[in-house]
Amino acid sequence: MPCRGSREPPSPGACHHLLSGSTSVTSARVAVNGVHLHYQRTGEGEHAVLLLPGMLGSGETDFGPQIKNLNKKLFTVVAWDPRGYGHSRPPDRDFPVDFFERDAKDAIDLMKTLKFKQVSLLGWSDGGITALIAAAKYPSYIRKMVIWGANAYVTDEDEMIYQGIRDVSKWSERTRKPLETLYGYDYFAKTCEKWVDGIKQFKLLPDGNICRHLLPLVQCPTLIVHGEKDPLVPRFHADFIHKHVRESRLHLMPEGKHNLHLRFANEFNKLAEDFLQ
């Protein structure tokens, strides 16, 4: 487990542990925008890459194969825990209507605090939405972006899907266990319900808008990966983002589900590395 770090922003070497066959992974917490954000860091490449996790996610639960195996000579990889998630607690997670914008600002300010001049983004699910917003709002800071399992708006179909995951006791053991271990059952269950209510807020906005209006502002080269068997994010969302982010590329993985970067980690990592270079 990564260490929680102290209240004071720790030194870069605050907490090391080794993943087999790789260079060391550093864990630390640093003060950003009034909260202490936890991150893991590995690699020594000149190209900084930030991994942005999904709903309830953290670096350790969402990106094990990326932290371990993305090329450490080419990249410096940082996986962050958004406020209220993972080890970036306190505070408890909440979902004001601008929570994606808040995450985007936190993520960029974290990387600036860590003194990176420019970064590329790898965003999964909610982290993909955060990445899109960050790329639109901080265009000069973002080199390239890979997103998967993201959506720019919420439809009736999405709302039904979200309702179906609201009760975590109905989740499969395999999906539930890591998050239950990380959070304890009560915080996990409560925060999932809060997330469903949070994401449903967008249904009340015109066109169910989360970030559709920002897509034309994205300037960086963008790769959209979509798993054709994703039960949580229908294909039309990937198509919409592809259409509105100029000169973006869409890559379909026929057997991919929502967690395609974990299930097909080698294929995904190669795709990401080739695109980022």
Show which residues are catalytic.
Answer: 125, 230, 258
Q: Which residues, at least 6 apart from 160, have a Cβ–Cβ distance to it below 8 Å?
A: none
Tell me which H or E stretch contains 85: none
Angle at alpha carbon of residue 221, lines to 111 and 270, rounded to 5°: 80
**3-state class (DSSP) for residue 201:** helix
Angle at alpha carbon of residue 103, lines to 134 and 211, rounded to 5°: 55
Measured from the Cβ of residue 3, the count of other Cβ atoms closer than 10 Å reads: 16
Among candidates 240, 220, 48, 197, which has minimal Cα distance to 145? 220
